[in-house]
């Protein structure tokens, strides 16, 4: 594999001094994991991973006596020190009682400071970072499927490690699985690897634990370029390869903007519908939802987003979950630039407007602290740190910087930022110090330090925040107004040419409770009930349920049962849960769909039910 100049930068930059991570038991000031060797067996029958993790250690504190690791529900069989000569020695260890959020602290007595420690363990079937699907819950219904989701702090449920974004490590892995099953990881994958049940992987670049990923199942491969391929179940792979055929073009476009792609290959794994997110930016192997496979490439901005993470997030990483906007805000901005370069400014502006309008609508319902890009410490779970503020306010701030300083100047700044902090984890203070020196002070009079600080550390959205214009959206706004006022019939809407984003815009700005007759009129004209486009379907069902249209309930239930992606499923559950009858219907759907949902989706839906029952009991 070609090692790029960016990789060499990690050898000369000093480590950034960071505060302790409240979501990890690790003590990196005393000892730090620098490399992981995994040896795992995929056991579908028992729904578990069996094997061992060998951690290479850099002892920082001469007085340290223990190695403290993060775990959640792991069954630890043994721990031993591994000497430079390969000899082993048992080590005493203690597994603390389980904390609901953080799991169990694993304390290993290691006063002799061994260079490596090996832990033999087994995961449990309910591991929060793994989902095991029987054949009937896959597309092809022939082989079982397993995949991980380590973000935010779920890697500890399948590997004992220092589970904090501030700690980066390289890794190698040896994984065995039943024959005919393909195993892939967030590392270099060989598309031509025989399905012989024996796989090896190497990740030569240091990554944080939340980017550790694995999947196994009936997975086929199609090359989409000289350094990209699509992996998916055989019945899905051709459709996915067509949808993502522009991947190489996307990579090359981003390289022109922000420098060489540092990871060698960029592959995409399309998972079963139970995957809880749109995409996960695992290095070398993005995990993606099948809900973006709509046939017209209208939702491939998801690939632009996950690819952008190869620079913002994977290359330069937020050191703590409260700083997650450094990953997601920067990435959403870069996504827009990729989309504009490859698919045109109209689509990029529409997507920016959609996210900005949605944020304007929702931000007022948040606490003042939650409206900040870097909120004050608030005691929330790591998973709860992700919000539209991190994505949409963050990218809006960067678009504002681009407007104030000019695109050419801002592009040069951003490329320098990625180069300077390559393969490091940083916090917002570190980012801001670099911003002040290399942009605000270097080009005075464009934006004051106070203005920039307000964007990051103050609630809300500045009143002068710029928005792109969209003549097509303006036209849709007028048509929606005329339709609601009775001046325009639904079948006269100019919707035959609307793309997915334009339908989203039309639906997003309907009244929260639209008159039932208007909902009926739209459906009669445009047949949105039963749409295969999940982005449109989610919005449509929420409006139709709120209007009281019981004719959509069956199709809405099929949508909920088919899709495990949180963003596309939980709003429909929430809409049903507003009435006792709707809640009962939703509980019936969930009872049938639960086994096919990811643990994260299960938790979210059950939380909706609990909140609804509490409200209805008052």
Model confidence pLDDT, tens digit, residues 111-159: 999 999 999 999 999 999 999 999 999 999 999 999 999 999 999 999 9
pLDDT tens-digit series, residues 307-339 = 999 999 999 999 999 999 999 999 999 999 999
CA distances from 349 to 390, 493, 507, 587 (A): 19, 22, 18, 39
**Catalytic hit among 25, 266, 343, 391:** 391
- Looking at the DSSP assignment, which residues form a beta bridge with residue 48? 43
Per-residue model confidence (pLDDT) at position 381:
82
Q: Check the annotation: does 248 bind a ligand.
A: no
Provide the sign of the torsion angle of the four alpha carbons 459, 464, 467, 468, taken in this order: negative
**Catalytic hit among 80, 151, 243, 306:** 306
Per-residue model confidence (pLDDT) at position 122:
98
For the record, the structure tokens of 531 come out as: 């749409």
For the record, the structure tokens of 29 come out as: 């000031």
Kindly compute the dihedral angle of the four CA atoms of residues 450, 455, 457, 459, in this order, to the nearest 10 degrees.
120
Count CB-CB contacts under 10 A for residue 180. Answer: 12
Q: Check the annotation: does 449 bind a ligand.
A: no
Say whether 306 is catalytic. yes
CA distance 275 to 203: 24
Residues 266 and 139: beta-carbon distance below 8 Å: no
CA distances from 245 to 228, 304, 561, 614 (A): 9, 12, 29, 48
- Give the single-character DSSP code of 272: P
Please spell the DSSP secondary structure of 306-362, one letter per residue: HHHTTTBTTTEEESSGGGTHHHHHHHHHHHHHHHHHHH-HHHHHHHHHHHHHHHHHH
* Average pLDDT over all residues of the chain: 95
State yes or no: pLDDT of 414 exceeds 70: yes
Per-residue model confidence (pLDDT) at position 8:
31
For the record, the structure tokens of 61 come out as: 């504190």
Residues 206 and 162: beta-carbon distance below 8 Å: no
Q: Which pTM value belongs to this model?
A: 0.93
Q: What is the mean pLDDT of residues 96-109?
A: 97
State yes or no: pLDDT of 16 exceeds 70: no
Secondary structure of the chain: what % helix, strand, coil (to 5)? 40, 20, 35
State yes or no: pLDDT of 12 exceeds 80: no
Say whether 581 is catalytic. no
Residues 368 and 305: beta-carbon distance below 8 Å: no
Per-residue model confidence (pLDDT) at position 254:
98
pLDDT tens-digit series, residues 240-274 = 999 999 999 999 999 999 999 999 999 999 999 99
Residues 276 and 236: beta-carbon distance below 8 Å: no
For the record, the structure tokens of 598 come out as: 């990811």
State yes or no: pLDDT of 9 exceeds 70: no
Kindly compute the dihedral angle of the four CA atoms of residues 31, 37, 43, 44, in this order, to the nearest 10 degrees.
90
Q: Name the nearest CA neighbour of 552 among 593, 512, 523.
A: 523
Residues 460 and 392: beta-carbon distance below 8 Å: no
CA distance 597 to 384: 19
Q: Name the nearest CA neighbour of 105 among 148, 66, 77.
A: 66
Q: Check the annotation: does 205 bind a ligand.
A: no
Residues 23 and 153: beta-carbon distance below 8 Å: yes
pLDDT tens-digit series, residues 477-487 = 999 999 999 99
Q: What band does 13 get if pLDDT is binned at 50, 70 and 90?
A: very low
State yes or no: pLDDT of 6 exceeds 90: no
Q: Name the nearest CA neighbour of 35 among 155, 207, 210.
A: 207
Kindly compute the dihedral angle of the four CA atoms of residues 341, 347, 350, 352, in this order, to the nearest 10 degrees.
-30
CA distance 562 to 569: 9
β-pairing verdict for 88-90 and 66-71: unpaired
For the record, the structure tokens of 306 come out as: 């996950």
Domains of the chain: 23-125+155-204 (2.60.40.1730), 316-457 (1.10.390.10), 475-617 (1.25.40.320)
Count CB-CB contacts under 10 A for residue 194. Answer: 10
CA distance 391 to 329: 4
């Amino acid at each position: 594999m070609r090692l790029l100049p960016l990789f060499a930068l990690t050898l000369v930059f000093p480590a950034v001094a960071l505060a302790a991570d409240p979501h990890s038991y690790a003590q990196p000031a005393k000892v730090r994991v620098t490399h992981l060797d995994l040896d795992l067996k995929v056991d579908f029958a028992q729904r578990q991973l069996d094997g061992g993790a060998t951690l290479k250690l850099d002892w920082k504190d001469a007085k340290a006596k223990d190695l403290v690791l993060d775990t959640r529900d792991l069954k630890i069989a043994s721990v031993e020190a591994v000497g430079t000569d390969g000899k082993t020695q048992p080590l005493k260890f203690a597994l603390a009682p389980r904390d609901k959020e953080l799991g169990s602290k694993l304390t290993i007595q290691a006063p002799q400071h061994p260079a490596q420690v090996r832990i033999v363990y087994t995961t449990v079937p309910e591991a929060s970072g793994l989902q095991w699907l029987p054949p009937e819950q896959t597309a092809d219904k022939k082989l079982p499927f397993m995949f991980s989701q380590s973000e935010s702090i779920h890697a500890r449920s399948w590997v004992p490690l220092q589970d904090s974004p501030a700690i980066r490590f390289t890794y190698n892995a040896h994984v065995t699985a039943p024959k005919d099953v393909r195993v892939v990881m967030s590392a270099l994958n060989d598309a031509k690897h025989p399905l012989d049940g024996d796989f090896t992987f190497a990740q030569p670049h240091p990554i944080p634990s939340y980017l550790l990923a694995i999947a196994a199942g009936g997975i086929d491969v199609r090359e989409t370029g000289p350094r990209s391929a699509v992996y998916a179940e055989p019945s899905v792979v051709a459709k996915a390869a067509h949808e993502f055929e522009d991947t190489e073009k996307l990579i090359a476009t981003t390289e022109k903007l922000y420098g060489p792609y540092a990871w060698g290959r960029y592959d995409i794994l399309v998972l079963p519908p139970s995957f809880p997110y749109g995409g996960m930016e695992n290095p070398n192997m993005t995990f993606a939802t099948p809900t973006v496979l709509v046939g017209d490439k209208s939702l491939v901005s998801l690939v632009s987003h996950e690819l952008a993470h190869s620079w913002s997030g994977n290359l330069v990483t937020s050191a703590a979950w409260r700083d997650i906007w450094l990953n997601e805000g920067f990435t959403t901005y870069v996504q827009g630039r990729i989309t504009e370069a490859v698919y045109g400014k109209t689509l990029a502006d529409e997507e920016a407007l959609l996210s900005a309008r949605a944020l304007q609508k929702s931000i007022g319902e948040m606490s003042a602290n939650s409206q900040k890009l870097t909120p004050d410490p608030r005691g929330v779970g790591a998973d709860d740190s992700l919000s539209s503020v991190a994505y949409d306010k963050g990218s809006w701030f960067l678009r504002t910087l681009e407007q104030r300083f000019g695109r050419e100047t801002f592009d040069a700044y951003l490329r320098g930022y990625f180069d300077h902090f390559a393969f490091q984890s940083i916090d917002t203070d570190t980012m801001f110090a670099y911003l002040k020196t290399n942009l605000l002070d270097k080009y005075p009079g464009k934006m004051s330090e106070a203005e920039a600080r307000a964007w990051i550390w103050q609630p809300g959205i500045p009143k002068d925040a710029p928005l792109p214009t969209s003549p097509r959206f303006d036209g849709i706004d007028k048509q929606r107004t005329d339709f609601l006022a009775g001046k325009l019939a639904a079948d006269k809407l100019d919707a035959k040419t609307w793309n997915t984003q334009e339908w989203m815009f039309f639906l997003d700005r309907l009244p929260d409770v639209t008159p039932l007759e208007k909902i009926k009129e739209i459906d009669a004209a445009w047949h949105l009930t039963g749409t295969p486009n999940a982005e449109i379907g989610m919005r449509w069902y929420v409006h139709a349920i709120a209007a009281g249209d019981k004719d959509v309930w069956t199709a809405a239930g099929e949508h909920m049962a088919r899709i495990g992606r949180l963003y596309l499923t939980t709003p429909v559950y929430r809409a049903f849960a507003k009435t006792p009858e709707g809640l009962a219907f939703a509980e019936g759907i969930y009872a049938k769909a639960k086994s096919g949902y990811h643990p994260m989706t299960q938790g979210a839906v059950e939380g909706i039910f609990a909140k609804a029952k509490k409200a209805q009991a008052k």
